[in-house]
Amino acid sequence: MSTHRFVMKCGGSTLAALPDAFFEDLRQLQEQGTQPVIVHGGGPAINETLGKLGIESRFHNGLRVTDEATLVVVEMVLAGGMNKQIVRRLQQNGARSIGLSGTDGGLIRVKPVADADVVGLVGEIIGINTELIEGIINLGYLPVIAPIGIDGAGQRYNINADTAAGAVASHLGVDTMIVVTDVPGIMRTVNGEKSVLSQVTFADIEQMIESGEIYGGMIPKVRAAMSCLHGNVKDVLIVDGAMPRVLSRAVKDGNIGTRIVRG
Ligand SMILES: Nc1ncnc2c1ncn2[C@@H]1O[C@H](COP(=O)(O)OP(=O)(O)O)[C@@H](O)[C@H]1O
Ligand SMILES: CC(=O)N[C@@H](CCC(=O)OP(=O)(O)O)C(=O)O
């Protein structure tokens, strides 16, 4: 029986549309002895709730400008709504799972980011309580983690979900991080033809950010990928959640979406 462990990041762009088959695939992987850990986002749902409350969504370098009022909504949507929705869907499809926020058990320890004067209550990760994650896995449950962090004084912080997933993958020492999103991988347009790159190196990424071919929400994904590949993580794949059996294909043959390699 394989005990392959992987971290999967699931983006808000795709969460609501994920079919039952996606969660069924996770259940089968869990039954086969694979140990998935999920870190999720929920950016679009946060924007929607903030909008209903008349609070404007503002971003700086891809990070949400987060004041105390915004943070209340971020935590409510991520740790309340999204986290519990994912756990419910996993359970409906037969997978055993437990949802946590990064504040529970000091799971994600942070300090304020360097540009806190601009982005406010956004956390830079300084530690992950891997014992807690290991404990949940050893009980036979799949951990589902919302990207909220906590500092030594008990203050909570907002964290980009790609960044949180990369840090969880690094600290847990998994081989693979799978970033599930709403596009089939990193795409490039050549002579008017759009295609998915099966592999990109760090140098390709820097060049594509520079040229504007990688932009917006793809930037934190590739940055998180590069940062965890500097540690023990061997493989980062960016894949489309709508593809049939995407996770088992990613785990078993890895020949799907875009693979990021050091190069
Ligand atoms: N080179 C690229 N290839 C594919 N998508 C890209 C690229 N550059 C930017 N993107 C954008 O990144 C988006 C995915 O990021 P985001 O919307 O933040 O997703 P998530 O909610 O899954 O984190 C894609 O929908 C696309 O608009
Ligand atoms: C600091 C920061 O920007 N936090 C993100 C957390 C959610 C997230 O990252 O969700 P996606 O993966 O769906 O984009 C935010 O507030 O939107």
pLDDT tens per residue across span 200-212? 999 999 999 999 9
Which residue's structure tokens are 């050091």? 262
Instruction: Please give the residue range of the domain that contains residue 204.
Output: 5-261
> Taking 70 as the threshold, does the pLDDT of residue 191 lie above it?
yes
Task: Look at residues 42, 148, 139 and name the one whose alpha carbon lies nearest to residue 97.
Answer: 139
| Helix (H), strand (E) at residue 1 | none
Q: Which residue among 15, 182, 200, 239 has the greatest number of ligand 1 atoms within 8 angstroms of its CB, and so is best to mutate?
A: 182
Q: What is the mean pLDDT of residues 157-176?
A: 97
User: What is the model's pLDDT at position 3?
Assistant: 56
Give the pLDDT band of residue 1 (cuts 50, 70, 90). Answer: very low
For the chain, what percent of residues have pLDDT higher than 90?
92
For residue 99, the Cα-to-chain-centroid distance in whole angstroms is 14
Q: Is the shortest distance between the CB of 256 and ligand 2 below 6 Å?
A: no
Average pLDDT over residues 18-41: 95
CATH code where residue 192 lies: 3.40.1160.10
Q: Give the integer Cα–Cα distance in Å for 166 and 171.
A: 9
Cβ count within 10 A of residue 67? 12
Contact 179, 237 (CB under 8 A): yes
> Which pLDDT value is given to residue 13?
86
Regarding pTM above 0.90, the answer is yes
Average pLDDT over residues 91-118: 97
Instruction: Give whole-number Cα distances, 83 to 10, 68, 140, 230, in Å.
Output: 11, 21, 18, 29
Residues near ligand 1 with C-beta < 6 Å? 11-14, 41, 43, 181-183, 186-187, 213-218
Number of domains in the chain: 1
**Amino acid identity at 211:** S
Q: Where are the alpha helices (DSSP H) in the chain?
A: 12-15, 20-31, 43-52, 68-75, 83-92, 116-119, 130-138, 161-172, 202-211, 218-229, 246-252
Mean pLDDT of the chain: 95
Band of the pLDDT at 214, cuts 50, 70, 90? very high
Distance 159 CA to ligand 2 centre (A): 7
Q: Look up the ipTM and state it.
A: 0.98
